[in-house]
Amino acid sequence: MKKSFMVIVMGSLLVLSSVYAAPAKLRVVGSWSSLSLYKEYEKPFWKKDFTKEFPSTKVRLSSLGQIKLRGASVYRELAKGVFDVVSTVGGYVVSDSQTLAGLDFPALTDDIKTAKKVVDSYKKTLDEALKKDFNAKLLSVVPYPAQVLFCKEKISSLADLKGKKVRASGWTVAEFLDGIGATGITMSYSEVPQSLQRGVIDCAVTGGLSGYMSGWGEVSNYLYPLPIGGWAYVITAMNLDTWNKFTKKEQEKLLASINKDIVVPAWVKTNYETSEGEKCLTGQDCSYGKPAHMKLIKVQEKDRELAKKVLISRVIPKWVKKVPAKTVKEWNETIGKIVNIEAK
C-alpha cells in the first residue's frame, strides 16, 4: 500500500513538473514601439496571448526604444540572460554574426512572396548562427516594409545615383552603393528630413510608410521602390537557457502560437504597408492621412540586372570572406537557388 502510494505521488509530481516547466518570469524586448509590428502583434501576444497559454509565467515587456541599447548590444545582453526574448532588426546585429547578413542583401528580392521563400529556406542556418553567436533560439522572422529610396533631385534609374550621397545603414548597403558609384552616409533617422532639405544628403533609404509618417515625403520629390535596403527583417530569439526550461511540448506550442499570432498576420500587414506607403507618398488614396506628392520612378529591368551584377561582383564576395565556408554552402543551397545567384 505504501509503495503504491509513493508511485502515485511520484507520478503526480512528474505530471505537475511537465505542466509547470515554463519559467516563472520572462523579460521580453519587443521591436520599435511606434510601428505596427509591436503595437498590433508583439505587444498583444506577450501581454495577452502568451499569458493565456502559460498563465504561471509573468512577462515584463519593453521595446527597443525603452532599453536604449545600440546595435548588437541588445543581443549580447540576450546571450548573457539579461533578457529572455529579444526582437530586433537583423541588420543591427550583423557585426556580431555575419551569417545574418546573408538573409537581407540589398535588392535581393523585390516582392514579398520571394522574400518569404528566402526567409523560410534560411531559417535553419539562422537558428544555428543564433545558437553559436548569441546562445539563443530562433523564434521568428518578420519583415518591415520594403526599404526603398527617397531622393530630392530627379533620378530615373540606379545609374543616376552615381556621385550622390545616400543615407543608409549597414555595410552591405554601403558596399552596394559604392558599387553603383554613390556614397553611403551614416546618420540618425531623425536627422534625415533636415539633411535632405539642406542638401547634406541627396537620397535616403527607409520603409515607405515609415518615411511618410516621418515627413520624408515633404522634403523628397522622387520615390524609387526597388528595396535597396532590403526588408529590414525583425529577428526574434529566446535565450537558449530559457528555451530549455520549457518542455518539448511547450516549445512546440510556443512556436505555433508565435507563428499564428505574430508571423502570419505580420507578413500580411507588411505587404499591405509596403503598398500603402507607396500610395501615401505619391498622391494616391492614403488610409493614413493626407498624401504626399512624390513622383514614383518605375523600376526598369536594367536596374534589376545592375543590382544583381553589383551583388555578385561587390557585396557577396565581401560577405563570403566574413563567414565560414559551411555558411556559404548553405546559402547557395537555399537562398542562392531561389534568387539564382552563387555566392563565391
HSE at residue 245, side-chain half, CA atoms within 13 A, is 17
pLDDT for the residue 18? 44
Per-residue pLDDT tens digits for 261-274: 999 999 999 999 99
pLDDT for the residue 169? 79
6 compared with 162, residue with greater pLDDT: 162
Pick the CATH number of 147-230+285-339 from 3.40.190.170, 3.10.180.10, 1.10.8.60, 3.30.1490.190: 3.40.190.170
pTM of the predicted model over 0.85: yes
Same fold, 23-100+109-143+232-274 and 147-230+285-339: yes
Q: What is the residue extent of each domain of the chain?
A: 23-100+109-143+232-274, 147-230+285-339
CA distance 239 to 236: 10
| C-alpha cell at position 121 | 529556406
Per-residue pLDDT tens digits for 169-188: 789 999 999 999 999 988 88
Q: Are 222 and 295 in contact (CB under 8 A)?
A: yes
Which of the 8 DSSP states describes residue 169?
-
Pick the CATH number of 23-100+109-143+232-274 from 2.40.430.10, 3.40.190.170, 2.40.170.20, 3.10.129.10: 3.40.190.170
pLDDT for the residue 17? 42
Per-residue pLDDT tens digits for 51-81: 999 999 999 999 999 998 988 999 999 999 9
Q: How far is the first Cα of the chain from the last one, in angstroms, to the nearest whole number?
A: 71
